[in-house]
Amino acid sequence: MRKILHFDKETIEGMDKRFRANFINSVTGYKSANLLGTVDKEEVTNLAVFSSVTHLGSHPPLIGFITRPTLVPRHTYINIKDTGIFTINHINTAIIKEAHQTSARYDAAISEFDATGLTAEFLGNHKAPFVKEAHIKIACRYINEYSIEENSTVLMVGAIEDIYLPEGVHTEDGWIDLSEANGVTINGLDSYSQPQLLDRLQYAKPDKPTTSILKK
């Protein structure tokens, strides 16, 4: 059995900045791995990797994500505020390196699509770019934002307007099998993993034992 290590508040605060960033970003567990596509007022496309996209509700269908402090220009944030639209594109195993490269600090006049070799795709009437190489794509409209005073970050809220995914990825009850789309997750700041489906369990009720509903 491995020895249990204890890190108290003082120890954490005394860590090297880069060590602490890796440590705290990893300790919360695996996160979603997405590319957010936007366009500015001059129609320059932008693409950025985010690990904070999360489900906020199904009716109406809402998502949220955290953007870092806006004390310096954040192109994704600025573009969304200017245009009111953005896309969410799942990162898959074939585009990990290209997706990660979008985290580099490119000038606003440079499109990360051009810099990384990913392909901007426009679907339906949505004017924000999708990632052609992504398998699951979501079109969103900006709804609101909430300032988090404790660390000057911002929670952005968007409404889902369109979803594109491959045939055969979702089941009869609406569940989407992300493994069928070769989706990946992010651990920390720079680690990408591919999840393995272990089980699906029935809706939990106090008077019934938990049973599997996974069709094998």
pLDDT band, very low/low/confident/very high, at 216 (cuts 50, 70, 90): low
Q: Stretch 188-197: mean pLDDT, rounded?
A: 92
| Residue 115 within a domain | yes
Q: What is the pLDDT of residues 126-181, one digit of tens each?
A: 999 999 999 999 999 999 999 999 999 999 999 999 999 999 999 888 999 999 99
CATH code of residue 156 = 2.30.110.10
User: How large a percentage of the chain has pLDDT more than 90?
Assistant: 88
Q: From CA 148, how far away is CA 146, in angstroms rounded? A: 6
| Residue 57 within a domain | yes
Contacts of 6 (CB under 8 A, 6+ apart): none
| Residue 99 within a domain | yes
Judged against a pLDDT cut of 70, whether residue 54 lies above it is answered with yes
Judged against a pLDDT cut of 80, whether residue 70 lies above it is answered with no
Alpha helices in 84-146 (DSSP H): 96-101, 112-116
Strand, helix or coil at 106? coil
Contacts of 73 (CB under 8 A, 6+ apart): 108
| Residue 201 within a domain | no
Q: What residues make up the domain containing 179? A: 31-193
| Residue 138 within a domain | yes
Of 144, 111, 124, the C-alpha closest to 35 is 111
| Residue 119 within a domain | yes
Interior angle at CA 47, CA 185 and CA 118, nearest 5: 80
Interior angle at CA 49, CA 160 and CA 109, nearest 5: 100
Whether the bond into 166 is cis, omega within 30 of 0:
no
Structure tokens at 48: 């950025």
* Least confident interval from 24-28, 58-62, 93-97, 132-136: 24-28
Q: Stretch 40-63: mean pLDDT, rounded?
A: 95
| Residue 198 within a domain | no
Q: From CA 150, how far away is CA 205, in angstroms rounded? A: 37
CA–CA distances in Å: residue 46 to residues 57, 59, 124: 27, 29, 19
Structurally, the chain folds into a number of domains equal to: 1
Residue 69 or residue 184, greater confidence = 184
Sign of torsion, CA 118 85 59 152? positive
pTM of structure: 0.93
| Residue 59 within a domain | yes
Q: Give counts: helices (H), strands (E), the chain.
A: 5, 12
